[in-house]
């Protein structure tokens, strides 16, 4: 399913037009200072914006940031507007909201080549409900739709899918096209053995993907916050680690399915536990059968890193989404760094390595190894769903080429 993209639009299609661009500017931030800790997603969005402004379009840029419950300073796109202005060498004004009279006025006042960033689209619950009335409000005053938010293309939300019904033409951005071109090829016919590594903290939204991964992969490695639901399902006690209580049955079924299908299922055997969620927490390495009450697992242990290394050493394609631990704290970064180093080494030996997800990419950047991987993807959940063979709603809503 090939979709139209911005390169298919001529200057005549764009000059003086108001173009609604959905980007994924959901960047990792320092929780206290709100400073952007990795700007990969912002830099990846620049080619589309520049292509549009160079052709005289008026760009209305939209994104979410985090998972806010409503308007709140800590999820404001203010730091993003600032960083965008620096990278584009032109002022990117930040609207106070993403819909409403004031925003409409700001859109109407845009000149050719200017960029206006709308405030966090998830401040409105209607966004995630893909509410048609809200989508219509988002489209107000705009002509063309460009979806460049690959990282959010697996969500059927108002700004990623619903809004397309009110705008024409509707096309993929440069980043969206680049990601799809690379990933569809790499995951449809992967060189084997093919392994996926799934970690991170979005357990409820990613555990379901494991079922399809078992159909595609030869090996599946779990890490990060994902593992404790599996331990609890095995009857182990997990202290105060991250657990999805309503996924325990699913975890059991997944382990049984992996066994039945002969997929190598690598679950860490030791973990680094902490007495609190903090950089200066007390920590120790324990076997997964001995997590003390009140302690939480924040990284995989050294024995597990060795096992993972052995399991992945002969793999020819490896897709990694989700850090192995809370790498933002140095004490709990060893498991993530070990995987990053291993994948860099395997890439140099000819393996195809794909790292996807805002935090996973941040971890690999922090380790200074991003340019040693085959592909750095701005989407974690989106890459996994693409691998499942799903049609992403943010792509399905675009015009066919």
Ligand X SMILES: O=C(OP(=O)(O)O)[C@H](O)COP(=O)(O)O
Residues designated as active site? 41, 202, 358, 381
Selection from ligand X, ligand ADP, none that 268 binds (CB < 5 to 8 A by kind) is none
Integer Cα distance of 56 and 111 in angstroms: 9
Assess 358 for contact with ligand ADP (CB under 6 A).
yes
Selection from ligand X, ligand ADP, none that 152 binds (CB < 5 to 8 A by kind) is ligand X
Q: Of the listed pieces 4-12, 119-127, 168-176, 355-363, which binds ligand ADP according to CB under 6 A?
A: 355-363
Q: Which positions from 36 through 75 interact with ligand ADP, judged by CB under 6 A?
A: none
Provide the minimum distance between the beta carbon of 298 and ligand ADP in the complex, in angstroms, as a whole number.
5
Burial letters for 61-79: b for 16+ Cβ neighbours within 10 Å, e otherwise?
A: bbbbbeebeeeeeebbbeb
Provide the minimum distance between the beta carbon of 95 and ligand ADP in the complex, in angstroms, as a whole number.
26
Query: Angle 98-131-68 (CA atoms, 0-180°, nearest 5)?
Result: 55
Residue 225 vs 379, nearer CB to ligand X: 379
Residue 18 vs 221, nearer CB to ligand X: 221
Residue 6 vs 77, nearer CB to ligand ADP: 77
Question: Which residue of 321, 353, 377, 378 would you call a contact of ligand ADP, by CB under 6 A?
Answer: 321
* SS3 track for the chain: CCECEHHHCCHHHHCCCEEEEECCCCCCECCCCCCECCCHHHHHHHHHHHHHHHCCCEEEEECCCCCCCCCCHHHCCHHHHHHHHHHHCCCEEECCCCCCHHHHHHHHCCCCCCEEECCCHHHCHHHHCCCHHHHHHHHCCCCEEEECCHHHCCCCCCCCCHHHHHCCCEEECHHHHHHHHHHHHHHHCCCCCEEEEECCCCHHHHCCHHHHHHHHCCEEEECHHHHHHHHHHCCCCCCCCCCCHHHHHHHHHHHHHHHHHCCEEECCCEEEEECCCCCCCCEEEEEHHHCCCCCEEEEECHHHHHHHHHHHCCCCEEEEECCCCCCCCHHHCHHHHHHHHHHHHHHHCCCEEEEECHHHHHHHHHCCCHHHCCEEECCCHHHHHHHCCCCCHHHHCCCEC
Selection from ligand ADP, ligand X, none that 155 binds (CB < 5 to 8 A by kind) is ligand X
Question: Which residue of 3, 41, 170, 202 would you call a contact of ligand ADP, by CB under 6 A?
Answer: 202
Provide the minimum distance between the beta carbon of 106 and ligand ADP in the complex, in angstroms, as a whole number.
31
Selection from ligand X, ligand ADP, none that 26 binds (CB < 5 to 8 A by kind) is ligand X
Which residues form the interface with ligand X (CB under 6 A)?
24, 26, 67, 151-152, 155, 202, 357-358, 379-381
Assess 177 for contact with ligand ADP (CB under 6 A).
no
- What tokens appear for 23 in the block? 């980007």
Selection from ligand ADP, ligand X, none that 394 binds (CB < 5 to 8 A by kind) is none
Assess 162 for contact with ligand ADP (CB under 6 A).
no
Provide the minimum distance between the beta carbon of 205 and ligand X in the complex, in angstroms, as a whole number.
6
Assess 24 for contact with ligand ADP (CB under 6 A).
no
Question: Which residue of 360, 370, 387, 397 would you call a contact of ligand ADP, by CB under 6 A?
Answer: 360
Residue 31 vs 192, nearer CB to ligand ADP: 31
Assess 298 for contact with ligand ADP (CB under 6 A).
yes
Give the residues lining the site for ligand ADP (CB under 6 A). Answer: 199-202, 224-225, 242, 297-298, 321-323, 325-326, 328, 357-360, 380
């Amino acid at each position: 399913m090939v979709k139209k993209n911005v390169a298919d639009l001529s200057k005549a299609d764009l000059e003086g037009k108001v173009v609604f661009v959905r980007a994924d500017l959901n960047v990792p931030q320092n929780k206290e200072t709100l400073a952007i800790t990795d700007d990969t997603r912002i830099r990846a969005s620049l080619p589309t914006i520049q292509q549009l402004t160079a052709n005289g379009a008026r760009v209305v840029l939209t994104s979410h940031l985090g998972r806010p419950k409503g308007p709140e300073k800590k999820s404001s796109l203010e730091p993003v507007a600032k960083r965008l202005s620096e990278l584009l060498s032109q002022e990117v004004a930040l609207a106070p909201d993403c819909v409403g009279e004031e925003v409409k006025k700001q859109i109407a006042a845009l000149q050719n080549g200017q960029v206006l960033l709308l405030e966090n689209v998830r401040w409105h619950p209607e966004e995630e409900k893909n509410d048609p009335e809200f989508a219509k409000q988002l489209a107000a005053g705009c002509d063309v739709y460009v979806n460049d938010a690959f990282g959010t293309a697996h969500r059927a939300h108002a700004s990623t899918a619903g809004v397309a019904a009110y705008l024409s033409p509707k096309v993929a951005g440069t980043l969206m096209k680049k990601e799809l071109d690379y990933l569809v090829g790499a995951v449809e016919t992967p060189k084997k053995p093919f392994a996926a590594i799934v970690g991170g903290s979005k357990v409820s939204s990613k555990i379901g993907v494991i079922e399809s991964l078992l159909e595609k992969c030869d090996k599946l490695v779990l890490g990060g916050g994902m593992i404790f639901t599996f331990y609890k399902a095995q009857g182990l006690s997990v202290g105060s680690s991250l657990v999805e209580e309503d996924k325990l049955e699913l975890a059991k079924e997944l382990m049984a399915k992996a066994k039945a299908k002969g997929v190598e299922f690598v679950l860490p055997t030791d973990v680094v536990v902490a007495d609190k969620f903090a950089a200066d927490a007390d920590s120790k390495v324990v076997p997964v059968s001995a997590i003390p009450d009140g302690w939480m697992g924040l990284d995989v242990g050294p024995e597990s890193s060795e096992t993972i290394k052995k399991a992945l050493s002969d793999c020819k394609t490896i897709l990694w989404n989700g850090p192995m631990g809370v790498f933002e704290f140095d004490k709990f970064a060893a498991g993530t760094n070990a995987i990053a180093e291993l994948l860099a080494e395997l890439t140099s030996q000819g393996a195809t390595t794909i790292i996807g997800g805002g935090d996973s990419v941040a971890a690999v950047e922090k380790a200074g190894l991003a340019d040693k991987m085959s592909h750095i993807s701005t989407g974690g959940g989106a890459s996994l769903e693409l691998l499942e063979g799903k049609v992403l709603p943010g792509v399905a809503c675009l015009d066919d080429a």
